[in-house]
Amino acid sequence: MSRDLRVAIVGAGPAGIYAGNILSSTGLDVAIDLFESLPAPYGLIRYGVAPDHPRIKGIVNSLHEMLDRGTVRFIGNVEFGRDLTLADLRRRYDAVIIATGAIRDAELSIPGIELTGSYGAADFVSWYDGHPDVPRTWPLEAREIAVLGNGNVALDVARVLAKLPHDMLRTDIPENVAAGLAASPVTDVHVFGRRGPAQVKFTPIELRELGEVDGVETIVSAEDFEDAAAIDAAVAASGSNQVKVMVRTMRGWLDRPRTDARRRIHLHFLHNPAAILGTDGAVTGIRFERTRLTDDGTVRGTGELREYAVQAVYRAVGYFGSPLPGLPFDDRLGVIRNLEGRVVDEAGQRIPGVYATGWIKRGPVGLIGHTKSDAMETIEHLVSDTEGLVRASERSDDAIFALLESRGVQYTTWDGWLALDAHERALGAADTSDVERERIKVVDRDAQIAIATGVLSQSSP
Ligand SMILES: Cc1cc2nc3c(=O)[nH]c(=O)nc-3n(C[C@H](O)[C@H](O)[C@H](O)COP(=O)(O)OP(=O)(O)OC[C@H]3O[C@@H](n4cnc5c(N)ncnc54)[C@H](O)[C@@H]3O)c2cc1C
């Protein structure tokens, strides 16, 4: 059946799914296809959110309902730029929405960053969340680890590194990750922020959680809280109740008696990373310059250098978007160039019929909920542009499958995801360890495809 409007969305993370759902509720007679490079949907909710955050992972339940209605067709294992071009989509769809998010680490240019034992948080996150495109093993050999960054991803990384293995087993982590974490000899994880305790980018829940990890002691250092007047001024200047709560939480930790916990997470502030130190190409330590708070709310170097003996360094200094063939990219911000979701070229001229939403639209900041308001803005613009859109020439619902098949692309469908989802849940139910596991993820891409396309039945191992 030919619809009035045909729209392709690229990227089945929350942004793409919300965009499809909002568009399907506008009352327009619209066909929506949602393309995803992985065999499974949900983007960073499946491959970014920490496995020990089941409540957040639970957001997939409402996204599942949106896709299960059938008004948005999921087409997985199709990579834009490799399997399909913008021209391919424009021939078959009246509008294209790019929602490809961000998966790689922002860069940090300090000496020693290339040493063995210096890692990007995004790579580690992809490993522990079972992303199919990263190596299956991760070198967890360090006893002392530095994590650079003061956002929630730094806290996720520190917590996953420090948690006792049995605590992680309750989650959906794949077997190789459970085995890797269980063998880790880590004792101390140090999280470093360049600025002060009132300038953290954590959220209060994630921070408080750090103080409640079983068998792990969280330690803050009195010297970082000495300049109480400057910290209070920064809290007041932030105007944020969340900041006030977090500073209060951390000050509370200053007075707690030390315990004999097997593992520790240390939160350090006012430490600007200067160099990662190494011997024979491997990390042996990290050097910082101490900073102090200034009246304008920033920090200034003090000239005092500090070194910590660590055998691994994880930089959690932000994610960064990747360019896509045929689309204008802003190298500075790591986003597709756009004005409120309408894609524009280098000169700021609109590229009609092409839109962006989510992290690739506004940069890798903000929570899952923000991608919903983001999608609303983009869809509002698309709807108001509808009359003027140049109509695609090939309007059949099957045209895209004929193209993919002609190129030998082994795409997966919504039914395929349902099969894979059931398979992972069955693996969780069959697990014989003494904890209840809702699912165990299948990592290998070929295995995911085999299950999703019915080559490997649900009862197969
Ligand atoms: C480590 C980490 C932890 C987080 N924890 C939380 C949390 O606890 N709570 C919270 O609210 N938010 C959390 N967030 C933020 C949340 O994940 C993001 O706000 C949200 O996922 C952004 O959605 P998105 O759809 O724009 O991007 P993504 O979720 O990245 O989805 C983009 C999708 O596009 C696909 N794609 C990319 N390139 C292509 C291509 N060429 N062709 C086809 N498909 C492509 C990707 O595979 C992916 O599925 C976390 C983020 C990170 C990085």
pLDDT digits (tens, 9 = 90+) for 183-193: 999 999 999 99
Q: What's the rounded mean pLDDT across residues 382-402?
A: 95
Q: Is residue 132 part of a domain?
A: yes
Confidence of residue 459 (pLDDT cuts 50, 70, 90): very low
Tokens of 129: 């969340």
Residue 222 has pLDDT above 90, yes or no: yes
Which ligand 1 atom minimizes the distance to the CA of 206? 8
Pocket test residue of 10, 35, 44, 355 for ligand 1, highest count of atoms within 8 A of CB = 44
Domain match, 79 and 164 both: no
Q: Is residue 224 part of a domain?
A: yes
User: What does the pLDDT read at residue 55?
Assistant: 85
Residue 435 has pLDDT above 70, yes or no: yes
User: What does the pLDDT read at residue 49?
Assistant: 95
CA pair distance 140, 254, nearest whole angstrom: 30
Q: Is the CB of residue 12 less than 8 Å from the CB of residue 36?
A: yes
Q: What's the rounded mean pLDDT across residues 248-256?
A: 95
Domain match, 302 and 395 both: no
The label of the residue with tokens 């500075």 reads 332
Q: Is residue 302 part of a domain?
A: yes
Q: What's the rounded mean pLDDT across residues 32-49?
A: 97
Q: What is the pLDDT of residues 350-365, one digit of tens each?
A: 999 999 999 999 999 9
Domain match, 169 and 239 both: yes
* C-alpha 52 to ligand 1 mean position (Å): 17
- Alpha helix locations (H) across 386-413? 399-406
Q: Is the CB of residue 137 less than 8 Å from the CB of residue 154?
A: no
* C-alpha 396 to ligand 1 mean position (Å): 31
Domain match, 175 and 240 both: yes
Based on the structure, what is the number of domains in the chain?
2
Work out whether the CA dihedral 58, 335, 121, 241 comes out positive or negative: negative
Q: What is the pLDDT of residues 66-81, one digit of tens each?
A: 999 999 999 999 999 9
Ligand 1 atom 39 nearest Cα: 100
Task: Classify 11 in phi/psi space as left (phi over 0), alpha (psi -120 to 50) or beta.
Answer: left
* C-alpha 204 to ligand 1 mean position (Å): 21
* C-alpha 330 to ligand 1 mean position (Å): 19
Q: Is residue 45 part of a domain?
A: yes
CA pair distance 300, 231, nearest whole angstrom: 15
Among the listed residues 7, 65, 67, 66, the one whose alpha carbon sits nearest the alpha carbon of residue 31: 7
User: What does the pLDDT read at residue 1?
Assistant: 58
Which ligand 1 atom minimizes the distance to the CA of 100? 34
Interacting residues of 98 by C-beta distance below 8 A, sequence separation 6+: 10, 11, 80, 324, 327, 336, 343, 354, 355, 356, 357, 360, 361
Domain match, 147 and 235 both: yes
Here the CATH number for the domain that contains residue 95 is 3.40.50.720
User: What does the pLDDT read at residue 214?
Assistant: 93
Domain match, 173 and 269 both: yes
Cβ < 6 A, ligand 1 pocket: 10-16, 35-38, 43-45, 48-49, 53, 56, 79-81, 99-102, 125, 153, 156, 319, 324, 358-359, 366-368, 371
Domain match, 292 and 146 both: yes
Which ligand 1 atom minimizes the distance to the CA of 360? 26
Tokens of 49: 């959110």
Ligand 1 atom 20 nearest Cα: 368
Domain match, 45 and 123 both: no
Q: Which domain holds residue 26?
A: 5-103+321-409
Q: Is residue 446 part of a domain?
A: no
Q: Is residue 332 part of a domain?
A: yes
CA pair distance 184, 142, nearest whole angstrom: 8
Q: Is residue 181 part of a domain?
A: yes
User: What does the pLDDT read at residue 456?
Assistant: 59
* C-alpha 131 to ligand 1 mean position (Å): 12
User: Would you give the DSSP letter of residue 151?
Assistant: B
User: What does the pLDDT read at residue 304?
Assistant: 97
Confidence of residue 460 (pLDDT cuts 50, 70, 90): very low
The label of the residue with tokens 């920064």 reads 234
Q: What's the rounded mean pLDDT across residues 119-140?
A: 95
Domain match, 297 and 325 both: no
Confidence of residue 298 (pLDDT cuts 50, 70, 90): confident
Here the CATH number for the domain that contains residue 113 is 3.50.50.60
User: What does the pLDDT read at residue 269?
Assistant: 98
Domain match, 163 and 253 both: yes
Q: Three-class SS of residue 179?
A: helix
Q: What's the rounded mean pLDDT across residues 231-251?
A: 96
Q: Is the CB of residue 330 less than 8 Å from the CB of residue 348?
A: no
**Hey, which residues does 319 pair with through a beta bridge?**
105
Average pLDDT, the chain: 94
Number of Cβ within a 10 Å radius of residue 376: 15
User: Would you give the DSSP letter of residue 19?
Assistant: H
CA pair distance 419, 422, nearest whole angstrom: 5
CA pair distance 149, 120, nearest whole angstrom: 11
CA pair distance 209, 204, nearest whole angstrom: 8
Domain match, 261 and 325 both: no
Q: Is residue 24 part of a domain?
A: yes
* C-alpha 13 to ligand 1 mean position (Å): 5
Entry field: residues in the chain:
461
CA pair distance 261, 218, nearest whole angstrom: 10
Residue 461 has pLDDT above 50, yes or no: no
Tokens of 335: 């986003």
Task: Classify 224 in phi/psi space as left (phi over 0), alpha (psi -120 to 50) or beta.
Answer: alpha
Which pTM was predicted?
0.94
Domain match, 116 and 224 both: yes
Of 319, 351, 382, which residue is a domain's last? 319
Q: What's the rounded mean pLDDT across residues 20-38?
A: 97
The phi and psi torsions of 276 (rounded to 5 degrees) equal -95, 130
Ligand 1 atom 37 nearest Cα: 100
* C-alpha 14 to ligand 1 mean position (Å): 7
Q: Is the CB of residue 215 less than 8 Å from the CB of residue 293?
A: no
